[in-house]
Each structure stands twice: as structure tokens, then as C-alpha cells.
A and B are shown apart, each in its own frame.
Chain A
Amino acid sequence: MADKETVIGPETRISGEVRGEEDLIVRGRIDGRVQLTQTLTVEKGATVQADVDVRHLIVAGTVVGAIVASESVRLTSTARVVGDLASPRVVMEAGAAYRGRVDMGDIAAARAAVSAHAVQRPAVVEKPATVAATATRPALPRMAPIAKAAVVAKTAAPVAAPVPAARPAAQAAAPAAPPAFPRVAGATGAMSPAWAKKKIRRR
């Protein structure tokens, strides 16, 4: 009997995705995503840090994440909830703590937004690539770092834009340097050939 209902006990933690067509009672912790066709109950002391897509949601514990409930949401007096909330019926009891936006209208749009949110996550991983690409710009005057940065950009990001942009800039910098060099050499004469050679090698 007790084995029929799904319970996540107080000392149990799930990280990942939970899907199902039955009621789920959480006394422990879930991180990730919860998708149910029935009721999710987050009991006092429990934590759900997840995007939630259910029919009914009853919260006495803590929920952090985007919430879509196709029928109702009830935040009891001990509830602590952070995240946008979309449901046609929303009840907040006295004592409930909530931060976020409530939408009692377009559930379909909210649901699409939640699933889009899930799809967008890989894009967040790509962010370091764009950071690396912008980081190559200040390094332009020096030749070697550009080559390295370009390689890094190539391997790290299949994003084509920053690589072609960096190359013409590098080529432009290279021809600009030689006309300036003889004048410097002429002015200083033979006083600093080592310095000049170093400069040539660097270029």
C-alpha cells in the first residue's frame, strides 16, 4: 500500500530528471527537473531545486526554479519559493514566502518558456568561447599570442566569426610595422642592434 506512492525520503537526494504519471512526495531533495502528470508535494524540510512541470503543486518546503502547474499551486504557510509561477489557480497561505512572477493566464506559453529554458542551458556552456574570442582582441599587437589565441578560439569554439576577424587584423598589424622599423634603426644607429633584432624576432 505504502509502496504504491512515490516518496523521496528525507535522507535521499536525486540529481537529474524525474518524470512520471503519478503523485510524488518529496521529503528529501531533488535537483534538476520534475515532470509529472499528477501532484507534486514538497513537504516541510524538503528542497526541490528544479524546473517543475506538474498538474498540482503543493509546497510546504523549499522550491527554487521555474514552476508550471496545469491546474493549481498551493503555497502553504511554511513554503519558501523562488521562481516564476504559471498556473490557473494559485493559492498562497499566510506565512508563505515567495519571490517571482505569477502568471495565471497562458500556461502553454509558460510551459514553452520552461522547456526553452532547459534547451538554452547548453548555450550557457558555450559562453567561455565568446569570452575567449573577445580576450584575443587586446592581444593583437603581439604575434605569437594571436596564433595561440586563434588556435584556442578554433578548438574551443566552432563559432566562425571571431577567427576570420582576428586574422585580417593580424595581417594589418604586420605590414604596418616594417616601415616604422628602419626609421627607428636609423635613428638609434648601431647602438641597440640586439634590441632591434629582438623586435624583429618578436614580429
Chain B
Amino acid sequence: MANTVIGSSLVIDGEITGEESLTILGTVKGKISIAQGLSVESGATVEADVEAQTVTVSGRLTGNVVARERIELKPESKMVGDAKSPRIVIADGAGFKGNVDMDV
């Protein structure tokens, strides 16, 4: 399903680019630019500027996010940074601080 998985003990410092979906359970710092969906799972930490088709956050994400389709913040998720996407879903219980830009 997810083509690339970053495991929970893994720390990546740098840039991730790709044409497929990315699931993060560990830690990524830097920059993420992918053509499909990014999933920041519960327990994961992402400190990066993100560009993706869809972004689903269950863990912690710090950085500016641009999603071409959708951003979804699940309950228990924490996000700090600007969110730009035509559709943004913030679930009850999610923490968010930053700008929302839905291009309206």
C-alpha cells in the first residue's frame, strides 16, 4: 500500500523526494516532497516543510504543509505550521497552530 515506510526507530536528516506514498513512524527532519500521500503516524515526529498530494497526520508535524488535495489532522495529532490545501479536515482533539489557506 504505502511504498515507502520510515520505521519507528529511524531518524532521517535531510530531504525525501519521491513519486509514491510515504508513511512515517519515526523521525524526519528537513524537507519532504512527494507526488502522493504522506502519512505521519502516531508516535512519529516530522520537522519538515511538506509538499504532497494528501497529508494525514496522527503524530506530530512541525513545518509548512502544502497538499494538492487534502490535509487531515486526526485526533491526538499535533501540528504547528501553515497548512495550504483546497480541503483541510481537523478532527476533534487535534492540536493545530498556524495559518490555514484553502485558496478561497
A residues at B contact (CB < 8 Å): 2-24, 28, 32
Neighbouring B residues of A7 by C-beta, 8 Å: 3-5
Contact A18 B10 (CB under 8 A): yes
| B89 lies within 8 A of chain A by Cβ | no
Contact A19 B20 (CB under 8 A): no
CA–CA, A134 and B64, complex, Å: 45
Nearest first, the 5 A-B pairs at minimum CB distance are A16-B14, A9-B3, A12-B18, A20-B10, A6-B7
Contact B12 A17 (CB under 8 A): yes
Contact B20 A9 (CB under 8 A): yes
Closest approach, in angstroms, between the C-beta of A6 and any C-beta of chain B? 4
Which residues of B41-90 have CB atoms within 8 Å of chain A's CB atoms? 41
Neighbouring A residues of B8 by C-beta, 8 Å: 22
Cross-chain pairs A/B with CB under 8 angstroms, 20 sampled: A2-B1, A2-B2, A3-B25, A4-B7, A6-B5, A7-B4, A9-B4, A9-B20, A10-B3, A11-B19, A12-B4, A12-B34, A13-B16, A16-B30, A17-B11, A17-B12, A18-B13, A19-B11, A24-B7, A32-B14
Closest approach, in angstroms, between the C-beta of B13 and any C-beta of chain A? 4
Contact B22 A15 (CB under 8 A): no
CA–CA, A5 and B4, complex, Å: 10
CA–CA, A54 and B7, complex, Å: 16
Contact A3 B14 (CB under 8 A): no
Closest approach, in angstroms, between the C-beta of B43 and any C-beta of chain A? 12
Contact B7 A12 (CB under 8 A): no
Which residue of B4, B6, B21, B35 is within 8 Å of A28 (Cβ)? B4
Which residue of B9, B15, B21, B35 is within 8 Å of A14 (Cβ)? B15
Closest approach, in angstroms, between the C-beta of A22 and any C-beta of chain B? 5
Q: A2-B5, A18-B12 are in contact. List 12 more A-B contacts (CB 8 A).
A: A5-B5, A6-B6, A7-B4, A9-B20, A9-B21, A10-B20, A11-B18, A15-B14, A17-B11, A18-B11, A22-B10, A24-B10
CA–CA, A2 and B7, complex, Å: 10
Contact B7 A20 (CB under 8 A): yes
CB-CB nearest in chain B for A12: B18
Closest approach, in angstroms, between the C-beta of A56 and any C-beta of chain B? 16
CA–CA, A15 and B15, complex, Å: 5
Neighbouring A residues of B12 by C-beta, 8 Å: 14, 16-19
Closest approach, in angstroms, between the C-beta of B75 and any C-beta of chain A? 19
CB-CB nearest in chain B for A16: B14
